[in-house]
Amino acid sequence: MRILIHGGTVITFGSPCRVLEGRAVLIEDGRIARIAPKEAIPGPFDRTLDATGKVVMPGLVNAHMHFYSTLVRGLGKAAPSANFQEVLDNLWWRLDRKLSLDDVDISAEVVLADAVRKGTTTLVDHHASPFAAAGSLDRIAGAVRRSGVRACLCYEVSDRDGQAVTDAGLEENAAFARRCASEKDPHLRALFGLHAAFTLTDATLDRAAVLGRDAGVGFHVHVAEAASDVAYNLQHHGLTSVARLAGHGLLGRGSIAAHCVHASEADQELLASTDTFVAHNPQSNLNNAVGIADVLGMVRRGVRVGLGTDAMTVNMLEEIRVAMWAQHLRQDNPTCAFMEIANTLFARNPELATQLWGFPLGTLEEGAAADVILVDYHPPTPLDGNTVLGHLVFGISQATVDTTLCAGRILMEGKVLCNGLDEAALAARSRELAVKLWDRF
Ligand SMILES: [Zn+2]
């Protein structure tokens, strides 16, 4: 399959994020084969896409997501929560215990259809369904394949529901990681999922460390999301959450620590020295009133900080705007951290995806995966390498994604999904299952 995208302004992401005018993008066999003037690329082509009046950029990467939260939208039954622990007790842990495999499946498919619409083509998910754990990642993998995007999956192991559920979660991670390694599907990758240090015993952390190492995957865990996580680990183990996880060998180059809102300076040094990837999720942190992570401090200490949404949205350009405003508030400085925040989405997330997938992903360059989006955008001020990040955060973030490709396959064209997913039918099925889930809640 040879596809030529021409007539648009190319934005590359990466560092530096470049702007290329007068260039066409040739896609061959799922990869970006050439970026050159249109006249320099000989035909024939199976398809040509005219990107006039559009910017052509890489598909976006979400570094921390929970597909399973879809059916909670509008659920009004949870009791008011005064703090993060009560949010978990009153809502999320009540919900995930009631999820069936069918709920898991539809939750993922609905979100993934929306991800195509928003131009997010790679998602790192963290899944929990304690009483429907076995086979859950396979069901999500099926939804990922049907949608045509890429996802890195894991199961959230926790000791909060007893030994049998812990064992099922450990096994689900190990089984899915083995399957991923043997099948080598370029749309799927695995990490080993853990809930958070405050719901895990030392014995479970040690078992996870061995299983994850044997499977050859890193870990994906919530870290210091709320002050209560740190307080619990200090009280019961004499260590911060970061130090305790590091002590069990769970941090490192292949691992993702989500949140790190309450990472101390020493914790930040440890995250840097272990080369652990931090996924910052500002909308969720603001919503749960747990605080705003010190992204500026972490980056200055050498931590790789990327951007997730924690299921608040699949629209990464919405999330980065909030990240910008929140960091200004956190640092009490309205002009700080522009590059540090911009780099989370446009440089660090592509690096994470490239590391997880093992080939260039998330940047628009020759040889990279052909995950590409076309966005309607007429720049009202000069658009070049010096201004592109401002355009992305303040302008392109407000524009509409027109066309989405992943692995060289067109998933949406002219704002119409063409990956085979019927959004109306999916939503109808989702509403049916939501009513039943809410009854059980
Ligand atoms: Zn999360």
pLDDT of 424 > 90? The answer is: yes
Q: How far apart are CA 195 and CA 144, in angstroms?
A: 22
- CATH 3.40.50.280 at 60-357, yes or no: no
Which pair of structure tokens corresponds to residue 125?
């998910």
pLDDT for the residue numbered 248: 98
Second-level CATH architecture of 2-58+369-417: Roll (2.30)
Q: What is the pLDDT of residues 354-398, one digit of tens each?
A: 999 999 999 999 999 999 999 999 999 999 999 999 999 999 999
CA of 88 to the centre of ligand 1 (A): 11
CA of 89 to the centre of ligand 1 (A): 15
Average pLDDT score over residue span 175-189: 97
pLDDT of 117 > 90? The answer is: yes
Residue 155 is classified by DSSP as: B
CA of 65 to the centre of ligand 1 (A): 6
Average pLDDT score over residue span 325-353: 98
CA of 66 to the centre of ligand 1 (A): 6
Mean pLDDT of the chain: 97
Q: How far apart are CA 364 and CA 352, in angstroms?
A: 15
Q: How far apart are CA 130 and CA 95, in angstroms?
A: 10
Strand ranges, E, within 292-400? 304-307, 372-376
pTM, rounded to two decimals: 0.98
CA of 56 to the centre of ligand 1 (A): 30
pLDDT for the residue numbered 80: 85
Minimum mean pLDDT range among 41-55, 89-103, 159-173: 89-103
pLDDT for the residue numbered 79: 81
More confident residue, 89 or 118: 118
pLDDT over 90 for what percent of the chain? 95
pLDDT for the residue numbered 334: 96
Minimum mean pLDDT range among 44-48, 83-87, 369-373, 416-420: 83-87
pLDDT band at 76 (very low <50, low <70, confident <90, very high): confident
Domain boundaries, the chain: 2-58+369-417, 60-357
CA of 113 to the centre of ligand 1 (A): 20
pLDDT of 130 > 80? The answer is: yes
Q: How far apart are CA 192 and CA 250, in angstroms?
A: 10
Q: What is the pLDDT of residues 163-174, one digit of tens each?
A: 999 999 999 999
Q: What is the pLDDT of residues 228-257, one digit of tens each?
A: 999 999 999 999 999 999 999 999 999 999
Q: How far apart are CA 146 and CA 348, in angstroms?
A: 27
pLDDT of 274 > 90? The answer is: yes
